[in-house]
Every structure is written in C-alpha cells, then in structure tokens.
Amino acid sequence: MIAHRNLGLVAAAATLLAAAPLSAIFERWTWLVQAVIAVAAVAACAALARLGRTPLWAQVLAMLGGLTLALTWLFPSGAELLAILPTPSTFGHFAELLTGSVEDMRSYGVKVPDTDPLLFVTVLGIGAVAVLVDVLCVGLRRPALAGLPMLAIYSVPVAVYVDSVPPVPFAIGAAGFLWLLVTDNVDRVRRFGRRFTGDGRDVDVWEASPLAAAGRRLAVVGLALAVLVPLAVPGMTVGLMNTLNSGVGSGLGGPGLGNSPGRVDLFAALSGELNQSRVTDLVKVTTTEKEPFYLRFGVADDLRANGFRVRGPNGQRATGDLPEPAERPRPGVERTRHQATVEVSRELNMPLLPFYAEPANFDDLGSNWFYDPNLQVLFSNRDDSRGKKFSFEYVRSTYTPQALRSAQPLPADLPLRRQQTVTPDVPEVRALVAELTRGERTEYDKVRAIYDYFSEDNGFTYQLSTEEGTSGQQILDFLENKAGYCQQYAAALAWMVRDAGIPARVAFGFTNGSRRSGETLTLTNRNLHAWTEVYFDQIGWVPFDATPSYGVPGSTRSAWAPDTDAPEETTPQDGTSDTPDETDPTAAPDRDPNQFEEGLDAGAGTGSDTPAGRTSPWPWLTVAGLLALLALLAVPALRRLALRRRRGRLAPVARTVDPPDADSATAGQPSVVVSTDPDRARADAHAAWDELIDTLVDYRVRVDPTETPRATADRLSRDSVGTDAAAGTAVRLLGRAEERARYARDPLTGEPLPAALRTVRGALAGQADRRTRLMATVLPPSVLGRWRTTIADTSARLVAAGGQLRYRLLRFNPRRLIANRASR
Amino acid sequence: MTQQTWDEVGGLLPYDEFRAASDAIVTNIEQVIEGKTATVRLALAVLLAEGHLLIEDVPGVGKTKLAKALARSIDCSVRRIQFTPDLLPSDVTGVSVYNQETHDFEFRPGAVFANLVVGDEINRASPKTQSALLECMEERQVTVDGVTYQLQTPFMVIATQNPIEMEGTYPLPEAQRDRFTARIAMGYPDPTAELAMLDGHGAVDPLPALRPVSDADTVRRLIGHVRQVHVADAVKQYAVDLVTATRESPDLRLGASPRCTLQLLRTARAVAALDGRDYVLPDDLQVLAVPVLAHRLIPTADAQLARRTTDAIIADIVHRLPLPHDRKRSPYENRPPAGNGRAPFEPRRP
C-alpha cells in the first residue's frame, strides 16, 4: 500500500511536470494553480479509493468524481450545493465553457490571456490526463504507457507554435516521465526482496544498484539527445504548414475543434516559414500570363485589438463555372483572361488552395472544395492541399492610377465599408494617418499617400527578425522601429488605410519567386508573402504591396502601386504623390534596381537586408569544408612526420642541464654545466629506439611491452626485416644502443644510429603490404594509438574521479537516512 | 684460517681475467657433463652469487656428477654428505666430544665446514637433519653448544634431490627451499651429447681425472667482481615487479620472499658478468626467473588441480609483465610508455 500511495503521488506530480509546456501558451500562471488543485483532488480521491481496497473501476470513478468536484469549485455557475457539489446547471455551465473555449481558440493567438473557457479546457484536460496516468501507473502498472497522455499535453504547444517550441518545458515534462518510470521500477525491484547487484556485494536500500548505472547513463543520453537534436537541426519538422490544419486544442478538445479552414494564425505560419533555414518547394504553377501578380490563398480581414484575424469563409462548391467576375468596363481598367495550372507539393498542407485572383472556373477539383467570392479563397472542410493539382481560368485586372482615382468614396452605411474599416483605437496611428492624408482628395490618393510613406526615405527597412504580431501596439512599434517584413508592412498599410476610412484587408500568398522556367514558376516557403488589398467603389479589391521589394524575391509592382524605393520611371503623371521623386535614386545609391530583376532571393532566409546570391556560397563552403576535412585528416601524418624529424635530428653538441649524476666531476660547480657526451648518446639511443617502436606500430609489426630491447631486436632481425642482413645488423645495433642507454653505466657512443634506423625502416616497409604502407603514411597507427590511449586514460581518470565524488555524495543521500530509520 | 675481507678482494677484474677464470671452470666441468653449457654456467653463477644450488631431476641425469665436477674444478675444501633417513644433525654441523687426554670437550667440525658441501639426495634425511642446514646456509655460521663457528668463504651447498620418488622421502620445508638460491633441472642430454658421452665415458669415468682449474682465492676475487656489476634502477624495479607479481598472482598461495629478490638480483649480476657485461639486463632476470623463483612458490589448490606447475606460472608472469620505463627521459620528447597500459594483473580485492 505504501508503495502504491507513493506511486500515485509520483504519478500526480509527473502529470503536473508534464503540463509544464503549457506555460508557453498562457500569459499567466493561473492555469497551473488550478491544475494543481484538480490533480491534487484526483490523487487524493485515488488514494482514498485505494485505502478502501476498491477495484480499479471504482478508483476510476472516484478520480473522475474528484475531478468533477474540483472543476465545480474552480468554475462555479453559482447554483452549486456547498460550492462543490455540482447541479445540472453546473454541467450546463460547463457546456457553455466548452463552447466558449472553441470561440476563444479561434479568436486568441498565443499567448492567451486567462479566460475562463480556456482555463476550464486546460484544467479538464490535465485532470483527465492525471486520471489516465494514475490508472495506467498504479492500476495497470504500465507507467510507460502513461507517457502517451503526457505527450498529448506536450503536443498542444507543438501544434500552436509553428516554428519553435521551448525546450526547457519539454525537459521538465520528460524528467517527470522518467521519475515515474524510475519510481515504478524501484518499487518493482524492491519486491524481489534481495536486490540484484553486479558484483555480488550487498547493497544498501538507499544505494543505487551497480546495475542501474547503465540504465541511468542511457536515460541521460537519451534525454540530452531528445532535447539537443531538435535544437541543433533546424527545420527538422518537415512541412510546418501541417499545423495550419490542426490548429490549437488538438490535445485537449479532441479533433474537430479549431479545425475550420482558415481560422488559423496565417501570420504566425508565415513568419515561421520565412524563418526556416530549409527551402522547400511548395507550389508549381504554370500560367499563360506573362507577368502574373501574386498567387493567393488566404486573407485576413477581421481586425481586432490583437491584430488581424482570419474569418471563417463560406461559399459555394468550386466545381464548374463560377459567377463571371463582374464585367464593369471602365476606362483605365484592362481585363485579360488567362489559364493556369497549380500543382501543390506534399509539403504544403492546409485547408486552402492557392490560385490567381479572380478565378472564372476551376477544373479537376473534388466536391470537397468551396469558393468564397467575398474573401476570394478556395477552402475545404475535409480535404487538404497536399498533392493537389488543378487548373483554372482567371481574369486579371490592371488599373491605371487615373481609373482608381476616379473611384468615389463608398457610402458610409455600406455593410462592406462598415465592416472593413473597423480599427481599434490607436491615437498615434490615427494621427499619423490624418497627417499623411491631409489634403488628399480622392480615395486613391489617400491610399497612395499612406503607401508611399513606407519608403526607404522614411527609414523603412526589411528585417525578418522582428517580433511578429499585428496588434495595435505591435503596429505602433513597427511604425516606430521602421523595420519588419511583409507581415508588418501589409498589416500596417491595411490598418492605416482602414483608419482613413477605406476598406482594406491583408492577403496571403506567394510572390513569383526566383525560379522560373518558361511558363512554370516554382514557389518555395521563402516565397510566402503577405500584402494589402484595398477596396475601391465599382472596381473591387486592388492589391498594394508595401514591403520593400529587395526583401522579397519575385516581388512585382504595378502601375498603380509602384516601388517606392526604386527610381520612379513610372511616376504618377500628376504630382499628387507625396514621394519626393528626385531624391529616391540618391537615397539608395547602394541598391541597384537591376539586382531585383535578376531574381535573386534577397537574403530572405537570414533576415539580412543585403542582397546576396543564395546559391553562390555553397560551392565555396563545400570546398572549404573539404579542405578542412583534408587538413584534419592530415594532422596525424604531420604529427608523425614532426616526431620523426625531431628524433632524426642529432642532439645539439652542448646543452645546459642540471648536474644530475653523483659521478659528475663538476658536482661542486655551479648548477649549470655543459652536459657530457654520454647524456647525448643516451638521448640519441632513446630517440632512435622510440622511433623504431613507432615504426613497428605503423607497419603493424607486433610490439610487446614485456620484451626487452635485446629480445625485440632479436625477434625483428629474425622475423621482420626479411633476408636483409644489413637491416638485421642495424636493428641489433639499435637494440644494443637502447639497452646500453637504459641499463649500463655508459651508453654506446659514436654509432650511426640514424643510418641504422633508416635501413631498418626501409626493410620493414619492404616487408609490409601496400595497404599497410599507405596507412603508415596517411594515418599512422602509432600517433592514433597514442591519442586513443591518452583519451582512454583521461576518461578513465574522469570516471574514477566521478565515482569517488559519487561515493562521497552518497553519504548525504536522504534515502540512506530513511533506510536507517526503518531499520531501527 | 685467515680470509681476505671483501675490501681486500677488490672490485672489478679486467674483463679478460674474469673471462679466463670463469671459462676455465665451465670448460673443465663440461669435460664431465656434455651439452649442458647453460646449466653449468647457471651453477657457476650461483656459486659466484654466493648462493646455494638445488639440483632436482630424475635419477641418472648427472645431478651428483655436476655437483662433484663443480667441486673438483675448484681447488678448495669439499665435503660430501649422503643424506639418509638416519642421518643426525650433528653429522652435518659437528659435535663436541669429550677428550680424555685434555679432560675437556672439543669440537669436531661437521660436514658443512668446507667451501663446497655436496648434499646428495637431501630429501631422504628427516626434517630434523635437514633443518641443521638452515643456519649455515643463510648465516654462514654454525652454532653448536652455544658456540658459533664462522664458515669459510666461498661457501656453497649443492644439494640434489629426486622429485619423482616419494617413498621414504621428506619434502624440503619452505624455509629450507627458500635458502636455495636456485633450483635447476638437468634435463636429458640431446642425442649428439649423449653419443659424445658414450664415447667419452664409455671406458673410464672422467670425473676422477678432473683437475682443479681454480682455487678459493680466485673464486673470491670472481665474487668480488660480481658484486660490482652495475644494476640500473629500471632493472631493480623490474625485479621488484617480478616478485610482486608472484605475490599478487591468483595462481599462487605463497609468493616470493624479499630474500628471493636479493638472491635474484645477485644471481643476475653473476649471469651478466659471466656473459661479459658489467651491467645487468632485464633479460638476465627473465632467464633466472624460473630457476630462482619457482621452487619457493606454492601454487593454489586450483592451480594444482589445473596441473599448472610453478614453472609455468612464473613463465606466464614473465610473459605478461611489462618492462618498467623509468629510464631518463629523452630530452627530445615526452613519449608515454610504449606499453598500451595493459596491467599484468588486476590486484586482488581484499
């Protein structure tokens, strides 16, 4: 029972630890407090039920009851008995909370504030996981399976955060899981009675079994790998657009919640994809149009306090012909009809499909796809975009500035205008818009005034590494910092145009990219883009792209929205534009507009604003890597060469050494004397012998540390140098010199050791096969072996030191005290 | 009897003189014992190392002949004791007898009062008699009736024993065995040597014709020379490593004694000198390991059951023990020991 109680507590604690990743979702920590209460209630009920030795099903019921009581107390409807006993109205309240949570999931991005519905769902989920973990661990004794519900909690932030999931909470959760496993196994081992140990020695209860060391090491290595590898390998999770499909709440609310098409944070997905270091082909599109505008798949037109949101689309089946795009011939509006085929790769997974606006009809689309003519998005509730291939006809409209200028302001009571000009009240933005549009008469001129404001002259730069988000404060930050990427530019322009009383929204899609062959464009995750669409009366939605074109590969500009940073050859004819045309070229002298035409990906991946060739550094990096590898491989050979050279050199004639020997005639002299000849001879003999030994190792001749120099020399002259008599004599000479140097009073002097060494080396090389010779030159085994020995020695020392340290620390192990107390 | 002190004996002889003297003895003995040069030299080395020799082999391979030939080659006092079960300690050490003329006890020296003592079939005497040799072999003195008598120099006991025949024998106790510097086996002669033996010994025993080629004084000077042979620190370390390995070997119940270390190094000096060197090599220790160490050790019951003799165990240790590398470092580099760090033996856990 004690073990069970202990295990139950550990299960509860592990559940809470596993919930740590949720901290990335909530702004505050209220959820944790409430989760602790709920889990504690569950654990307490489980413990009580077990005290009564009830069967498993009763324990489950007790835990569920405890969870219900806790939820009732935490989320009261006001009609409870004694504040904790639920009544039917309580459950009605719960149902409302659940529904509300779905709403909240749609409306809030991370991090979410403490709203009751979200907290309810969270606490309910954690409580349910606690029940499951308890049942699996204590009831069924399968703690490994308990990892699955715990993992479910972790999947929530994974699903919500598109690009990065904080590693620390994962480590905490994993540690909780390990704790659970360890506790269960300790309990299991204790039931054996005697504990198994490696060396038959008795081991105290508090002391870890020697057998456990391997498991501990494995666990540590596994945990470290699990945390570090995803950090080290960027973009390991392929196709993060997958998460567009799942949305939030897959771990809590089950499937279906938040799964509506397009109700996701396209902004977050966009920044995530642009920040990917890996480039993935997402879409291939073939069109008959020469200079198509951007491929488009989504739109965000719901502006709230926390930024632009995507509305759920609704529309008709996208099979066959669509209602013909409104044919309202106007002067200055040119309409051309084109044919295009879109092929989506397996990497792009979302409930939306990209196409060119405005479509006239779709072919080859199943009955699962719907078209929303207002939002101009193609969506599905059941299917996804992976591997879809379809073709369609579309009408491309181009406008002259004059045509747009002739558009009248929309009537104030038009639903579209009312709906699409809503902006949260940010006085600074409002003031800026008012200042920019002062004196502008037509709608188009107002839009252009705001649009032109995002020019380099005003200090705007392209930068990927900015904080994402489109809330009022973030727009304000952007307008102040003047650094951002398409998301900020598109949202800010839309926001400001709305402030000016003109409907605007943010569109998502692909630029034309930089890889084009014939009529086919290949678009990657780097080409994802956002821009602004402005509604003009009688004309419709007209795109404006305010993002600096050098930051966007494949950016295209139109006559009505020219590049504000480029030298303006297509300046609007009348001088109503605010942009001081003549200063533009000088303001950006380092930016050659031709660079953009070369279709370079302007460093979008790194977020730097220097346009550089993306593919060009790779060959150099490869060559540099190869060179580095070669240099690394050459290190052993060079080391061997240096050693040989040093040993082959004769000792300098005179050295100053301390007089070490008692037989030195100058014992009473000052401590520095010119060394005697025997010292040098001794050193030479040692050097020659060491070199011989290394040579033997290199040529894979056996080296026996138990052999004396004489025995080694005999063996070599007998076995290894072949029939070469000179080499035999030479190796004996080396052996004798080393022997005398080591053991005799006087070393051999005046013998031609380097010559003998060369002879022996030549003879040994002659006996070795070609592969051995090659290895001896390129990767000398003597050097490698010595390094290996050094490493092994070092690690052995470290292990020994670690063992001692552990032994000392074990003295303070609290479990030892517990064991002592129990034995008393 | 006056003796030179070791100071008077002096240090190193000229190489030629030593060589001539030692070779004369070896050649002389080889007139009797054919084809056993190594054994003969080892016996001479034990003499020069001031040790005692135990010749152990099957009957008829020339144990006694070697002992007698060595004794005859040196012109010094030689006594022979035939160990029999009824031999008494006083027969070995000597006895005080009552002299009726002087009305006093007078000491009659026993067999050990000689330069060379040949003890034949030593294991046939009772332990009581065997132990009479303990004092004289180690301390080179005899104490009878409270009076201590110094023995001469050189003093060497050459004993023979037959390891096969167990009936009516008393195996040497450990203390006795430890006093023998080396135990050598004669081994069978090879066919050519045996043929030469038939030619030479067929008609007449050459032993009585053997003339001494050296004398006690020369031997003393040879011993003085051997004492001066240089032993490098590395060699001393190797000797210590060797005996330590026997003490730590899992196969041995009793390892080698410190006395053994001393005798090993002394014999190694003699071997080196006989080889014409004035310094000892580890090779000398390796050659001597089995003769000097093996007879003192007691294998464990497991090793005995596995029929591992002490000879094999010692050979194994020599084979696995790396040479010490405490030589002066070469100024050219700092190379770690060429050994791959393989420990010869894991120390036994207490």
In order, the DSSP letters of B71-119 are HHHEES-EEEEE--TT--HHHHHEEEEEETTTTEEEEEE-TTSSSEEEE
Q: Who wins on pLDDT, A233 or A667? A: A233
In the numeric block, which tokens belong to residue B263?
């005798």
Q: Is-contact B55 B63, C-beta < 8 A?
A: yes
Best mutation target among A643, A645, A706, A732 (most B Cβ atoms within 10 Å) is: A706
Instruction: State mean pLDDT over B134-163.
Output: 88
CA angle B161, B166, B168 (to 5 degrees): 95
* Calpha distance A678→A699 (Å, rounded): 31
Q: Who wins on pLDDT, A36 or A749? A: A36
Residue B257: which CATH number?
Answer: 1.10.8.80
User: B338–A690: do the CB atoms touch at under 8 Å?
Assistant: yes
Residue type present at position A771:
R
pTM score, whole prediction: 0.52
Alpha helices in A421-485 (DSSP H): 427-436, 443-453, 472-481
Q: Is-contact B159 B116, C-beta < 8 A?
A: no
Instruction: State mean pLDDT over B201-230.
Output: 86
Instruction: Report chain A's mean pLDDT, rounded to a whole number.
Output: 77
Instruction: State mean pLDDT over A260-268.
Output: 54
Nearest to B330 among A687, A703, A739 (CB): A687
Q: Is the peptide bond before A389 cis (omega within 30 degrees of 0)?
A: no
Q: What percent of chain B has pLDDT over 90?
A: 33
> Distances from the Cα of A240 to the Cαs of A234, A278, A280, A386, in angstroms?
12, 11, 11, 13
- Chain B partners of A687 at a C-beta cutoff of 8 Å? 330, 332-333
**E-assigned strand segments in A670-719:** 673-674
Reference B60, options B186, B184, B171; nearest CA is B186
Distance spanning both ends of chain B, measured CA to CA: 54
Nearest to B232 among A705, A743, A790 (CB): A743
Residue type present at position B301:
A
| pLDDT above 60 for A467 | yes
* Calpha distance A24→A248 (Å, rounded): 13
Q: What is the CA radius of gyration of chain A?
A: 39
Q: Is-contact A275 A464, C-beta < 8 A?
A: yes
pLDDT digits (tens, 9 = 90+) for A115-164: 888 899 999 999 999 999 999 988 888 888 888 888 888 888 877 775 66
Q: What is the pLDDT of residue B3?
A: 54
DSSP character string of B152-190: PSS-EEEEEE-SS--TT--PPPHHHHHH-SEEE---PPP
Best mutation target among B332, B345, B349 (most A Cβ atoms within 10 Å) is: B332
- Chain A partners of B230 at a C-beta cutoff of 8 Å? 743-745
Nearest CA in chain A to B228: A745
- Confidence class of residue A556 from pLDDT cuts 50, 70 and 90? confident
Q: What are phi and psi of A112, to 5 degrees?
A: -90, 150
Buried (b) or exposed (e) across A622-633, using 16+ Cβ within 10 A? Answer: eeeeeeeeeeee
| pLDDT above 50 for A581 | no
Q: Is-contact B40 B213, C-beta < 8 A?
A: no
Residue range of the domain that includes B254: 230-326
In the numeric block, which tokens belong to residue B161?
């024993």
Nearest to A646 among B230, B279, B333 (CB): B333
B213 found inside a domain: no
What's the maximum distance between 2 C-alpha atoms anywhere in chain A?
A: 119
User: A790–B336: do the CB atoms touch at under 8 Å?
Assistant: yes
B246 found inside a domain: yes
- Confidence class of residue B252 from pLDDT cuts 50, 70 and 90? very high
B292 found inside a domain: yes
| Exposed / middle / buried, residue B240 (Cβ in 10 Å: 0-12, 13-18, 19+) | middle
User: A647–B337: do the CB atoms touch at under 8 Å?
Assistant: no
Task: Answer left, alpha or beta for residue B76, where phi above 0 means left and psi between -120 and 50 means alpha.
Answer: beta
Residue type present at position A621:
L
Best mutation target among B329, B335, B345, B349 (most A Cβ atoms within 10 Å) is: B335
pLDDT digits (tens, 9 = 90+) for B53-102: 999 888 888 888 888 898 889 888 888 899 999 999 988 898 888 989 98
User: A744–B335: do the CB atoms touch at under 8 Å?
Assistant: no
**Within 13 Å of residue A589, how many CA atoms lie on the same side as its CB?**
1
| Tally of domains in chain B | 1
Using DSSP's 3-state secondary structure scheme, residue A767 falls into: helix
Nearest to A793 among B319, B320, B341 (CB): B341
Q: What is the pLDDT of residue A130?
A: 93
Q: Is-contact A205 A312, C-beta < 8 A?
A: no
- Chain A partners of B335 at a C-beta cutoff of 8 Å? 690, 786
- Chain A partners of B327 at a C-beta cutoff of 8 Å? 686, 741-742
A468 Cβ partners below 8 Å, 6+ apart? A267, A268, A271, A474, A487
Q: Who wins on pLDDT, A68 or A750? A: A68
pLDDT digits (tens, 9 = 90+) for A682-719: 888 888 898 999 999 999 888 888 889 999 999 998 88
B21 Cβ partners below 8 Å, 6+ apart? B13, B214, B218, B221, B222
Nearest CA in chain B to A656: B331
B296 found inside a domain: yes
Q: Is-contact A492 A546, C-beta < 8 A?
A: yes
Residue type present at position B96:
S
DSSP character string of B185-234: ---PPPHHHHHHHHHHHTTS-STTTPPP-EEHHHHHHHHHHHHT-B--HH
- Chain A partners of B232 at a C-beta cutoff of 8 Å? 742-744
Q: What is the CA radius of gyration of chain B?
A: 22
B275 found inside a domain: yes
What's the maximum distance between 2 C-alpha atoms anywhere in chain B?
A: 81
| pLDDT above 90 for B245 | yes
Reference A781, options A695, A719, A690, A703; nearest CA is A695
Write the DSSP symbol of residue A280. Answer: -
Residue type present at position A280:
T
User: B335–A792: do the CB atoms touch at under 8 Å?
Assistant: no
ipTM of the complex: 0.82
Chain A contact residues (CB < 8 Å to B) = 643, 646-647, 651, 655, 682-683, 686-687, 690, 693, 703, 705-708, 710-711, 739-745, 785-786, 789-790, 792-793
Reference A318, options A398, A391, A222; nearest CA is A391
Alpha helices in A482-541 (DSSP H): 486-499
Nearest CA in chain A to B231: A743
Reference A378, options A414, A342, A330; nearest CA is A342
- Chain B partners of A706 at a C-beta cutoff of 8 Å? 318-323
| pLDDT above 90 for B239 | yes
Q: Which of residues 83-112 of B touch A (CB under 8 A)?
A: none
Q: Who wins on pLDDT, A493 or A210? A: A493
| pLDDT above 80 for B275 | yes
B289 found inside a domain: yes
B53 found inside a domain: no
B18 found inside a domain: no
Best mutation target among B283, B316, B325 (most A Cβ atoms within 10 Å) is: B283
- Confidence class of residue A594 from pLDDT cuts 50, 70 and 90? very low
pLDDT digits (tens, 9 = 90+) for A276-298: 667 778 888 888 887 788 888 88
Buried (b) or exposed (e) across A409-422, using 16+ Cβ within 10 A? Answer: ebeeeeeebeebbe
Nearest to A710 among B232, B283, B336 (CB): B283
Write the DSSP symbol of residue A26. Answer: B
